[in-house]
Amino acid sequence: MSLLAKSLRQAMLTSSDYNTQEKLAEAAGISQAAVQKMLNGKTKKTKYLVEIAKILNVNPECLMSGEDCPQIGTIKEQPKVYAATPQPGDISNLLSVATPRSSAILEKLAAKLNNHELSDADMEIIEAIADRFTK
């Protein structure tokens, strides 16, 4: 099962309005067969990712992560704010010039940023790496 399939399936299960292929397809303006291909892992990426994420009220990066995607606004703990915290948009810009291996790492990092899953130690490592490449 692809990462998209796993996360999409979980996001649909937690949605009360779009928990069937038909309902999600209609809301996204795509065919039920297209949703079925995503859920079966035959489609690994889709140009409708952002639209589907909006419909399911989850972050698009999370849908590509293979992890359970909490609905936006349901995160209980507020993240710490760091002066040099990378933003998801920064990572998206990097993806356009990254190697395939780097892209996979950046996508996972973006998902963790969006889900506020980075510890203080993680942030120190990220900041050290960023400092190394920005000097």
pLDDT, tens digit (0-9, with 9 covering 90-100), for 46-66 = 888 888 988 988 888 887 877
Tokens of 39: 């859920």
| 75 assigned to some structural domain | no
Average per-residue pLDDT in the chain? Answer: 75
Q: Determine the distance from the C-alpha atom of residue 25 to the mean position of all C-alpha atoms in its chain, rounded to a whole number.
A: 19
Q: Which amino acid is at 66?
A: G
Domains in the chain, number:
2
pTM higher than the cut 0.75:
no
Which position has the token pair 């937690």?
A: 14
Domain containing residue 7: CATH number? 1.10.260.40
- Considering the domain architecture, whether residues 18 and 57 belong to the same structural domain is answered as yes
C-alpha closest to that of 11 among 79, 77, 58: 58
Confidence of residue 44 (pLDDT cuts 50, 70, 90): confident
Q: Which domain holds residue 14?
A: 3-63
Instruction: Tell me if 46 sits within 8 A of 38, measured CB to CB.
Output: yes
- Residue 81: its pLDDT value, please? 44
